[in-house]
């Protein structure tokens, strides 16, 4: 159980009870006594948690307290659930009074039923309150936590630091520049988890001879978490007197005034910018070029300090890590002759993840183990189990980081132990799981908990508890990982609270609250006895042959679940007993490809916040009473391609933030119209609307979506069914529908598919914020809006627009700075009548387009009539397929291109004119060019054209029937690493030099009768 969990639970329950006492007058006395007992217990909980490791009776007392608090939480949740049920029933005008007076929803009968439970929990808490006196516990507030500090110093031997030369040189450059900066003093921050060697690196810099030459004054202060300005100032002054602050600040300013100094502030934890600014006011009088190095585990600390670009320190690479380990673990610091021992050592080393302090701790311990069996026995042990004598320093440092976390972050961090090591944790999923468990709290009722959860997430990132962040195309973090050592720490602090079942026969403790289960295993019988379980996660990310066969057992036995994950479970029908999980907040049914419908009982989950049905591609309908899920905030229907319609009343779910798919249908009487979206103004991120052909009879209904009110929506996809073709009278109606929908100027991405109008004539103001635009399968579309005026547009995708002739119609008055100024990527697919990019050169030569594009990536596929392109000046990647040779000459017109892919180029006979100037080219692929013979260059200088490609690494030549020999000039490309030749039916000879390449592949060349020595042909 993570530290502070009970304290946090009591705070939350007292808050809930406070609002309930007035509403439940029949149980007021019992509820008030419950509140009083919790209030008495709360101050001693933190002290009890610290002492429990040495007092078994105290440990039992805490377990009983946890059980009582959990039962109280469930009890209060029952009250809340009944309120929500009544809310649903009273909104239904057809509800009969007899239903309201039934035993399950009548307030009087419910109170009668719940009173004994309230009294029982009250008695248990009262007994626990009395028993606390036995242990002589101390009242303690959160701010009074005792934290042990570590001291650091400025000296370190350079030979003791391995693998940091590159980092040292980079930081030396940063420290030696900046004399011409506006401010006299600038900050360089070194950020990373405990044990990475931040202090050691700072020590290397501090003692470097170049630093002595660059700085007149050097100072080193270990700050730790006591960020007191006076204390730091006194440490800088090396003063031990008890002078007043005024005297201290005078002395400090006098010491540094006019001098170029280097100050190292090691191990900073302060996240209060005001405190930092107070210190900086004392340090700004140094000469220009003065530097402050800070070391910290938190990017937030680095940001607060004003560091422009924090230096994120990473672990040692494999070679350097092994070098350090060898020095510490083996006799004389040399790799042993026993290769098996070396192999075991390398396996153990992986545990350390390149963290120097971990390597030192483990390496020193291994040195004390004499036999191979000793090493094998230790191999599978965890660094958590290393005792103090064996070198537990790294874990103590991680534990110190953990001790500094606020209680709400401790719970969130401990919960992360449910994910296997090296697991790619999705940020949105993690935050929703925290919310479902009640870990995310806000004092303001209207505050979005997901936004608060995002702050929690970023706090853990800043403190290096989460790492390896991956960002999407918008630059938002969507995936992270935990360092192995951090995972060990999370597992250590969570104890039996959070358990991963990944081995057959592994038992589950009755007190376990959160479980992650490998569904390839059989469900242990102990799972059914874990009645207090609140989380059930599946570890699998693929469909298993037998699926989750025990789905019914899980649902029917674990009625306290808040989170239920049944992804990839391969069941056809969710058990109807799902409504027994009345506390459920999070239900993931994604990747269950055979589910066609959901049981109506699911609509009785009044607390359900997240319902995920991603890629349930057989799902045909949602329950008619889906509107009863009054707490629902996230409904992900992405990939539910067979979903026929949205049920009526979905627009009543006013808390919805995520609704990835909305399907219109006129056939079903249960279908909700586009007006259901009118008041769902909390929708964010992405929305796809399908079936817009249904509005052709009343195109004015398109305005019912009220897109203007959905300020958090960033991506919109609009679709018409391409199999329902509009008649001539309906084409204009599609345009009216589109105009009615596009009234939102905050969109970053817009996709339109199946539109049957001839013109997209919406005001350009509707698109001013659009970054990505995708227009596809619009079979009658002839005219696009003036896309060249969209200053933010970076990605443009035009796919299967058979009537489009020009992308830009009127651009003669636009100069190069206003013509697609931000565009970076273009993909043109199956635009069979497209003649050119813009019409400006139509009356001149076809090539005379008067504009230029600064794009990086260009793909043109199946555009046979395209004859004109703007001038491309900085394109790195070009893919041309099924276009004519003229476009090839226009597209490849500068030397900066790095990747060129050519396929099915009509009329292409020679590549010398195209390739000879591409000095930056790294990859070249040529396929399906029937008239090309690479060896038969027009001017005969085939060697020259290849030799000039001084950066080319990879070449692929496929399906080139006229190629009989490998171009001899390829052997003179000194940078060539990989050559692939496939399906060249007339290739007769392979030169010997191919065997010298790092990698080659030859396949599908039947005319090859002999091969040079060492050269092999692939079977496929």
Average pLDDT value for residue range 61-72 = 93
Percent of the chain exceeding pLDDT 90 equals: 36
What is the pairing mode between strands 467-471 and 477-481? antiparallel
CA distances from 733 to 436, 695, 706, 760 (A): 44, 8, 19, 12
pLDDT for residue 554: 81
The three-state secondary structure class of 344 is helix
Rounded Cα distance between 958 and 928, Å, is 7
Average pLDDT value for residue range 179-202 = 82
pLDDT tens string 468-486: 788 888 888 999 988 777 8
CA distances from 520 to 95, 425, 537, 541, 588 (A): 45, 20, 13, 11, 18
Strands (E), 279-336: 290-296, 311-312
pLDDT tens string 523-536: 788 888 888 999 99
The answer to whether the CB of 839 falls within 8 A of the CB of 812 is: no
pLDDT for residue 942: 45
The yes-or-no verdict on residue 120 having pLDDT over 90 is yes
The matching CATH number, chosen from 1.10.10.10, 1.10.40.50, 1.10.10.410, 3.40.50.150, for 406-496 is: 1.10.10.10
pLDDT for residue 850: 63
Average pLDDT value for residue range 212-229 = 82
Which pTM value belongs to this model? 0.77
Query: Under 8 Å CB-to-CB from 188, ≥6 apart: which residues?
Result: 171, 174, 175, 291, 292, 293, 294, 307, 311
Give the range among 492-501, 814-823, 915-924, 925-934 with minimum mean pLDDT.
814-823
> Who has greater pLDDT, 471 or 429?
429
The matching CATH number, chosen from 3.40.50.2300, 3.60.20.30, 3.90.850.10, 3.40.50.300, for 158-312 is: 3.40.50.300
* Segments making up each domain of the chain, as ranges: 5-144, 158-312, 318-395, 406-496, 502-643, 897-1003
CATH superfamily of 502-643: Ribonuclease Inhibitor (3.80.10.10)
Name the average pLDDT for the chain. 84
Rounded Cα distance between 402 and 397, Å, is 9
Question: Of 926, 952, 825, 912, nearest to 877 (Cα)?
Answer: 825
Rounded Cα distance between 810 and 552, Å, is 64
Number of Cβ within 10 Å of residue 829's Cβ equals: 16
Average pLDDT value for residue range 23-36 = 81
Percent of the chain exceeding pLDDT 70 equals: 87
Average pLDDT value for residue range 887-896 = 83
The answer to whether the CB of 370 falls within 8 A of the CB of 338 is: no
pLDDT for residue 273: 87
The yes-or-no verdict on residue 22 having pLDDT over 70 is no
CA distances from 627 to 450, 578, 587, 709 (A): 22, 17, 17, 21
The yes-or-no verdict on residue 445 having pLDDT over 50 is yes
Q: Which of 239-248, 473-482, 677-686 has the highest mean pLDDT?
A: 677-686
Rounded Cα distance between 325 and 430, Å, is 35
Between CA 36 and CA 413, with CA 512 as vertex, the angle to 5 degrees is: 80
Rounded Cα distance between 659 and 69, Å, is 35
């Amino acid at each position: 159980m993570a530290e502070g969990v009970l304290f946090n639970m009591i705070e939350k329950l007292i808050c809930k009870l406070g609002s309930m006492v007035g509403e439940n007058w029949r149980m007021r006395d019992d509820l008030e006594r419950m509140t009083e007992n919790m209030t008495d217990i709360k101050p001693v909980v933190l002290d009890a948690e610290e002492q429990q490791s040495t007092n078994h009776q105290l440990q039992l007392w805490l377990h009983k307290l946890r059980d009582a608090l959990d039962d109280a939480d469930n009890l209060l949740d029952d009250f809340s659930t009944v309120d929500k049920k009544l809310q649903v029933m009273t909104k239904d005008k057809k509800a009969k009074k007899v239903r309201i007076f039934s035993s399950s929803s009548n307030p009087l009968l419910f109170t009668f039923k719940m009173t004994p439970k309230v009294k029982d929990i009250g008695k248990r808490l009262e007994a626990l309150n009395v028993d606390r006196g036995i242990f002589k516990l101390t009242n303690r507030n959160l701010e009074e936590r005792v934290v042990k500090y570590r001291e650091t110093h400025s000296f370190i031997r350079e030979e003791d630091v391995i693998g940091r030369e590159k980092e040292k040189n980079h930081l030396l450059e940063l420290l030696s520049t900046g004399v011409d900066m506006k401010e006299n003093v600038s900050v360089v921050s070194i950020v990373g988890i405990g044990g990475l060697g931040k202090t050691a690196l700072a020590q290397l810099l501090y003692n470097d001879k170049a630093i002595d030459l660059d700085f007149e004054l050097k100072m080193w202060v270990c700050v730790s978490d006591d960020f007191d300005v006076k204390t730091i100032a006194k440490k800088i002054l090396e003063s031990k007197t008890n002078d007043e602050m005024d005297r201290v600040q005078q002395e400090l300013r006098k010491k540094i005034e006019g001098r170029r100094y280097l100050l190292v502030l090691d191990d900073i934890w302060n996240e209060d910018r005001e405190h930092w600014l107070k210190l900086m006011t004392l340090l700004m009088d140094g000469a220009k070029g003065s530097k402050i190095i800070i070391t910290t585990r938190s990017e937030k600390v680095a940001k607060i300090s004003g560091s422009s670009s924090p230096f994120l320190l990473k672990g040692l690479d494999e070679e350097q890590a092994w070098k350090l380990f060898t020095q510490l673990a083996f006799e004389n610091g040399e790799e042993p002759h026993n290769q098996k021992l070396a192999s075991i050592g390398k396996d153990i080393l992986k545990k350390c993840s390149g963290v120097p302090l971990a390597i030192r701790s483990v390496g020193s311990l291994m040195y004390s183990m004499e036999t191979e069996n000793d090493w094998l026995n230790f191999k599978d042990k965890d660094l958590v189990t290393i005792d103090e004598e064996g070198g537990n320093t790294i874990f103590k440092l991680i534990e110190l980081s953990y001790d500094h976390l606020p209680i709400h972050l401790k719970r969130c961090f401990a919960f992360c132990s449910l994910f296997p090591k090296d697991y790619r944790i999705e940020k949105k999923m993690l935050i929703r799981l925290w919310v479902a468990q009640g870990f995310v709290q806000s004092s303001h009722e209207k505050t979005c908990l997901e936004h608060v959860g995002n702050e929690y997430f970023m706090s853990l990132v800043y403190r290096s508890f989460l790492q390896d962040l991956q960002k999407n195309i918008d630059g938002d973090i969507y995936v992270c990982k935990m360092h192995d050592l951090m995972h060990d720490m999370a597992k250590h602090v969570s104890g039996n609270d959070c358990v991963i079942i990944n081995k057959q026969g592994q038992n589950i403790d009755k007190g376990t609250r959160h479980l992650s289960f490998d569904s390839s295993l059989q469900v242990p019988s102990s799972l059914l006895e874990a009645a207090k379980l609140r989380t059930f996660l599946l570890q699998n990310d693929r469909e298993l042959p037998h699926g989750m066969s025990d789905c019914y057992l899980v649902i029917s036995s674990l009625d306290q679940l808040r989170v239920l994950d049944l992804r990839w479970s391969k069941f056809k029908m969710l058990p109807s007993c799902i409504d027994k999980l009345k506390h459920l907040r999070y239900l993931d049914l994604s990747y269950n490809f055979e589910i066609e419908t959901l049981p109506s009982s699911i609509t009785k989950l009044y607390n359900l916040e997240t319902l995920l049905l991603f890629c349930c591609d057989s799902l045909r309908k949602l329950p008619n009473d889906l509107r009863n899920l009054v707490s629902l905030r996230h409904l992900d229907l992405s990939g539910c391609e067979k979903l026929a319609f949205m049920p009526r009343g979905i627009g009543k779910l006013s808390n919805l933030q995520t609704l990835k798919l909305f399907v219109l249908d006129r056939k079903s009487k249960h279908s909700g119209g586009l007006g259901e979206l009118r008041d769902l103004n909390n929708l964010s991120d992405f929305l796809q609307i399908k079936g817009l052909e249904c509005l052709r009879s009343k195109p004015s209904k398109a305005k019912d979506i009220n897109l203007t009110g959905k300020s958090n929506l960033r991506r919109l996809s609009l679709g018409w069914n391409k199999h329902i073709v509009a008649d001539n009278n309906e084409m204009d109606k599609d345009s009216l529908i589109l105009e009615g929908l596009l009234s939102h100027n905050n969109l970053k991405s817009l996709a339109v598919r199946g539109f049957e109008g001839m013109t997209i004539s919406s005001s350009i103001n509707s698109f001013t914020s659009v970054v990505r635009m995708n227009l596809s399968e619009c079979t009658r579309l002839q005219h696009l809006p003036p896309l060249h005026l969209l200053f933010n547009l970076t990605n443009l995708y035009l796919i299967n627009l058979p009537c489009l002739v020009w992308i830009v119609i009127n651009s003669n008055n636009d100069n190069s700075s206003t013509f697609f100024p931000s565009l970076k990527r273009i993909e043109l697919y199956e635009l069979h009548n497209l003649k050119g990019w813009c019409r400006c050169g139509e009356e001149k030569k076809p090539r005379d387009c008067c504009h230029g594009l600064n794009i990086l990536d260009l793909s043109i596929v199946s555009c046979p009539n395209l004859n004109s392109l703007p001038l491309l000046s900085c394109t790195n990647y070009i893919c041309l397929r099924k276009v004519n040779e003229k476009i090839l000459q226009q597209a490849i017109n500068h030397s900066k291109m790095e990747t060129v892919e050519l396929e099915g180029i009509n009329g292409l006979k020679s590549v010398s004119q195209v390739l000879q100037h591409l000095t930056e080219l790294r990859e070249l692929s040529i396929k399906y060019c029937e008239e090309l013979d690479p060896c038969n260059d027009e001017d005969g200088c085939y060697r020259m054209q290849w030799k000039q490609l001084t950066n080319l690494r990879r070449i692929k030549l496929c399906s080139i029937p006229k190629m009989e020999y490998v171009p001899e000039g390829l052997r003179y490309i000194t940078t060539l690493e990989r050559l692939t030749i496939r399906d060249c039916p007339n290739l007769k000879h392979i030169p010997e030099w191919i065997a010298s390449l790092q990698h080659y592949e030859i396949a599908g060349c039947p005319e090859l009768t002999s091969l040079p020595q060492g050269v092999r042909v692939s079977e496929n």
